Amino acid sequence: MGTPLAADDWRNDDTAALFDAILLLENREEAAAFFRDLCTRRELEEMSQRWAVVRLLAEGLPYREIAERTGVSTATITRINQWVQHGTGGYRTLLERLRGPA
């Protein structure tokens, strides 16, 4: 049996400091500047692409349509969906906040 998706062995003082710094960002422009300094262009593109896949999965789109819209392989979409369904709940939390109050 494999390691659970929600394993916390990646958490340490450095990841905590990173998350604390992110929480200090006050707007989209500050976030854009920080993440552009922190990440390579490709890393930003990949994270943005993943978030697009999550949003399209939440809309109920079929994998093939998501693949066509985003350029992400159906295998990667399957992996992302596994995190949506069985991850730590981060994707779901943000999706709910984006939807607003019911």
pLDDT 10s digits, 39-52: 999 999 999 999 99
Global pTM value:
0.85
* Tokens describing residue 54: 């999550």
Closest of 30, 77, 33 to residue 55, by C-alpha: 77
Instruction: Using the predicted structure, report yes or no on whether residue 1 has a pLDDT greater than 50.
Output: no
Domain residues for the domain of 53 are 13-99
Residue 22 CA neighbour count, 13 Å, CB half:
9
Length of the chain: 102
Specify the number of domains making up the chain: 1
Residue 56 lies in a domain: yes
CATH code of 73's domain: 1.10.1270.10
- What is the per-residue pLDDT across 90-102, written as a single tens digit (0 to 9) for each? 999 999 999 988 6
Residue 6 lies in a domain: no
Residue 28 lies in a domain: yes
